[in-house]
């Protein structure tokens, strides 16, 4: 049996998409989060990942931002689907203050120049050499 047309139209007009917000700390921790992020960004992000998982909503003094901490998610955002993400937004300006103007926060010609400078370090042969170096030092220790 099919639904009456007016019910389907009503359902369509009253449809509210449910957007689940990623887990994270409460809004009243924004001052603490901001200070901790400025003092020890990496340690703070590691704590947030351990507490809330791989995608985290972090309230700071000037709003909230979302952090993707799993390598697969980072690869999706920065490599596979990078055209969908704009870096000229307030979140990246805040991140720029914390991390500086590096590959993550940079955009355009300056980003391309930095990427080309660092790319040889990630060549397959160089990464294999790092692995051999690590294995040697693990065996010695």
Task: Assign 106 to helix, strand or coil.
Answer: coil
Claim to verify: residue 99 and residue 117 sit in the same structural domain: no
- Each residue of 54-102: pLDDT tens digit? 999 999 988 888 899 999 998 898 788 877 877 788 877 877 888 888 8
- Contact at 8 Å (CB) between 49 and 66? no
User: In the predicted model, what is the mean pLDDT of the chain?
Assistant: 80
How high is the pLDDT of residue 100? 85
Claim to verify: residue 101 and residue 136 sit in the same structural domain: no
**Could you tell me the CA-to-CA distances from 1 to 4, 7, 97 in Å, in that order?**
9, 13, 60
For the chain, helix (H) and strand (E) counts, in that order, are: 7, 2
Q: Per-residue pLDDT for 2 more than 50?
A: no
Range of the domain at 54: 18-106
Q: How many CB atoms lie within 10 A of CB 98?
A: 13
Claim to verify: residue 102 and residue 112 sit in the same structural domain: no
Task: Please report which helix (H) or strand (E) contains residue 65, including its range.
Answer: strand 63-68
Q: What angle do CA 137, 127, 130 make, to 5 degrees?
A: 15
Claim to verify: residue 51 and residue 85 sit in the same structural domain: yes
Give me the number of domains the chain comprises.
2
The model carries a pTM of 0.58
Claim to verify: residue 128 and residue 78 sit in the same structural domain: no
User: Is 84 a member of any domain?
Assistant: yes
User: Is 75 a member of any domain?
Assistant: yes
Above pLDDT 90, what percent of the chain? 30
User: Is 138 a member of any domain?
Assistant: yes
User: Is 120 a member of any domain?
Assistant: yes
Higher pLDDT, 128 or 38: 38
User: Is 11 a member of any domain?
Assistant: no
User: Is 77 a member of any domain?
Assistant: yes
Q: How confident is the model at residue 30 (pLDDT cuts 50, 70, 90)?
A: very high
Higher pLDDT, 92 or 46: 46
């Amino acid at each position: 049996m099919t639904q009456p047309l007016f019910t389907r139209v009503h359902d369509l007009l009253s449809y509210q998409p449910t957007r689940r917000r990623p887990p994270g700390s409460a809004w009243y921790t924004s001052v603490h989060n901001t200070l901790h992020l400025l003092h020890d960004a990496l340690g703070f992000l590691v704590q947030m990942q351990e507490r809330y998982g791989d995608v985290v909503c972090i309230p700071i003094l000037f709003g909230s931002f979302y952090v993707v901490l799993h390598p697969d998610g980072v690869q999706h955002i920065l490599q596979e689907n990078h055209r969908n993400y704009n870096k000229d937004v307030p979140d990246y300006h805040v991140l720029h203050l914390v991390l500086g103007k590096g590959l993550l926060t940079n955009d355009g010609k300056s980003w391309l120049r930095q990427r080309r400078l660092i790319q040889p370090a990630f060549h397959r042969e160089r990464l294999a050499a790092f692995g051999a170096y690590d294995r040697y030092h693990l065996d010695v220790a």
